[in-house]
Chain A
Amino acid sequence: MMETINIILEGLPTLLKGMGVTIEVTVISLILAMFIGLVLGVFSITKSKILRTIATAFVDIIRGTPLLVQILFIYFGLPSVLDINLTAFSAGVIAITVNAAAYLVEIFRAGINSIDDGQMEAGRTIGFSYSQTMRLIILPQAIRRMIPAFVNQFIVSIKDTSLLSAIGLAELTLAGQSIYAVNFRAFEILFAVGVLYFVIIYSLSLFSRWLERRLDVA
């Protein structure tokens, strides 16, 4: 037992560093993904056929291909034809952003659609433009309803970052691998890796429950 604890303690500084990278990639990616998801989500409900097609094509392509393939494509595929040089970190951020955005588009679309048409009409007849009505009346209501779905996607994305170990990004999973590759204590190290993922995700769950309770008051 003492030995197990010692092995984990020895690996902990490396694991925590990896956990930091995991959190960093996730936070940056999800902020970008929320922005893209919102914009394409609004595209997908506009009258413009071009904008709707852009949104639908994006969602279909990204959802229709495996994330691991997307990661490898961005890191190895793109630089081989374009004259760019991506670090594993930026390739990882791009892949997670694009992937999460595709699912968030659908959450935004469904959330906005769930608001009664009368709300848009009421806003427009007061004299607000489409975008003012969206911002002041539709989105504040829709986003409350979207919170559980957002959190679900955030959790999936946090776990998806473990796939970035495939392109050599030193996030939590790769940090674990690098330790047991040397000391061969896969059981202890992977157990610790799992616990650290759980800590991140469970904290997020607690935060979202608190947020939902707070917004429910209004």
Chain B
Amino acid sequence: MKMIEVNNLKKSFGKLEVLKDINMDVNSQEVVCVIGPSGSGKSTLLRCINLLEEPTGGDIFIEGDNLTAPKTNINELRQRLGMVFQQFNLFPHMTVMENVILGPKRLKGKSQSEAKEIGTQLLDKVGLVDKTDVYPDKLSGGQKQRVAMARALAMEPHIMLFDEPTSALDPEMVGEVLQVMKDLAEEGMTMTIVTHEMGFAKEVADRVIFMDEGFIVEQGTPDELFNNPQNERTQAFLSKVL
């Protein structure tokens, strides 16, 4: 079964057509990177996959469940889809630990001590176990993004979505965030990543999707796409960013 299946997806904002007939799927344990110029619709695609944006047309299936069917419980379904944002979106009124364990406590019925155990484990994994009781405004960008990943992972998602996770970071902090993502990929997490980090895509992705003007122009293994792009738009884009 496909983890994510997108059929004929369309999305318009008013008259502006951002996604025009997108078809894609993501297999279990697969790492898919979506690249493309800004305005190509890649973030919108990712936001449609967890219904932060309502599709204008087409279907999206998450582990076989139709995302937009009326009987689908979107809150339950989103627990299976972890999301990491460009702007981190940590909860500023809660400590790092409280950020991470809010979901497990309130949605998975974990006790405070069970939740803290999970929280400590995840903060250890992202290398921030010493920041447990700190508020987010005391953290650097890279640290915030690692907390955001721990928070998403605390719900034990089956799929992780990343929306330009390193774009708001100072250059020296990009590495620490990519490292955590790389570890996740190696553990077999199914991941879909919208990114501008071509080096990361080359190294970690199983498949790279190139989007432009609301279409998927080309996709393939990193080797195929980066070293032997077929479409001239892909070639033009890569010549600018590589």
A152 close to chain B: CB less than 8 A? no
B202 close to chain A: CB less than 8 A? no
Q: Is the CB of A127 within 8 A of B87?
A: no
Where chain A touches its partner, the secondary structure class is helix
A150 close to chain B: CB less than 8 A? no
B182 close to chain A: CB less than 8 A? no
Interface 1/0 per residue, B51-84 and A, CB below 8 Å: 0100000000000000000000001101101110
Instruction: Known A118-B89, A119-B91, A218-B93; judge A126-B102 contact (CB<8 A).
Output: yes
Interface 1/0 per residue, B143-174 and A, CB below 8 Å: 00000000110010000000000000000000
**Which residue of the partner chain, among B79, B91, B107, B135, contacts A122 with CB atoms under 8 Å?**
B91
A217 to chain B, nearest CB (A): 10
A residues less than 8 Å from B102 (CB atoms): 126, 136
Q: Quick one: closest B residue to A117, CB to CB?
A: B89
A residues less than 8 Å from B220 (CB atoms): none
B175 close to chain A: CB less than 8 A? no
A residues less than 8 Å from B89 (CB atoms): 116, 118-119, 121-122
A80 close to chain B: CB less than 8 A? no
Where chain B touches its partner, the secondary structure class is mixed
B85 close to chain A: CB less than 8 A? yes
B residues less than 8 Å from A140 (CB atoms): 93
B92 close to chain A: CB less than 8 A? yes
Q: Is the CB of B78 within 8 A of A124?
A: yes
Interface 1/0 per residue, A103-147 and B, CB below 8 Å: 000000000000010110110111111001000110011001000
B residues less than 8 Å from A118 (CB atoms): 85, 87, 89
> Bound state CA distance, A136 and B83, in angstroms?
19
**Which residue of the partner chain, among A128, A137, A218, contacts B107 with CB atoms under 8 Å?**
A128
**Which residue of the partner chain, among B91, B92, B135, B155, contacts A127 with CB atoms under 8 Å?**
B155
Q: Quick one: closest B residue to A140, CB to CB?
A: B93
Q: Is the CB of B85 within 8 A of A218?
A: no
A residues less than 8 Å from B52 (CB atoms): 121, 124-125
> Bound state CA distance, A218 and B138, in angstroms?
12
A residues less than 8 Å from B15 (CB atoms): none
B103 close to chain A: CB less than 8 A? yes
B106 close to chain A: CB less than 8 A? yes
B residues less than 8 Å from A137 (CB atoms): 91
Q: Is the CB of A136 within 8 A of B75?
A: no
Q: Quick one: closest A residue to B47, CB to CB?
A: A121
Q: Is the CB of A125 within 8 A of B91?
A: no
Interface 1/0 per residue, B85-119 and A, CB below 8 Å: 10101111100000000110011000000000000
Q: Is the CB of A126 within 8 A of B78?
A: yes
A residues less than 8 Å from B151 (CB atoms): 126
B145 to chain A, nearest CB (A): 13
Q: Quick one: closest A residue to B95, CB to CB?
A: A218
A residues less than 8 Å from B78 (CB atoms): 124-127
A148 to chain B, nearest CB (A): 17
> Bound state CA distance, A51 and B63, in angstroms?
36
B136 to chain A, nearest CB (A): 11
Q: Quick one: closest A residue to B161, CB to CB?
A: A125
B192 close to chain A: CB less than 8 A? no
Q: Is the CB of B91 within 8 A of A128?
A: no
Question: Which B residues have a C-beta under 8 Å from some C-beta of A?
Answer: 50, 52, 75-76, 78-79, 81-83, 85, 87, 89-93, 102-103, 106-107, 135, 151-152, 155
Known contacts A119-B89, A122-B85, A136-B106, then 19 further A-B pairs from the complex at CB < 8 Å, ordered by chain A residue: A118-B87, A118-B89, A121-B83, A121-B89, A122-B83, A122-B89, A122-B90, A124-B75, A124-B78, A125-B50, A125-B81, A125-B82, A125-B83, A126-B102, A127-B107, A136-B102, A141-B93, A218-B93, A218-B135
Can you give 7 contacting A-B residue pairs, CB < 8 Å? A122-B83, A122-B89, A124-B75, A125-B83, A126-B151, A129-B75, A132-B106
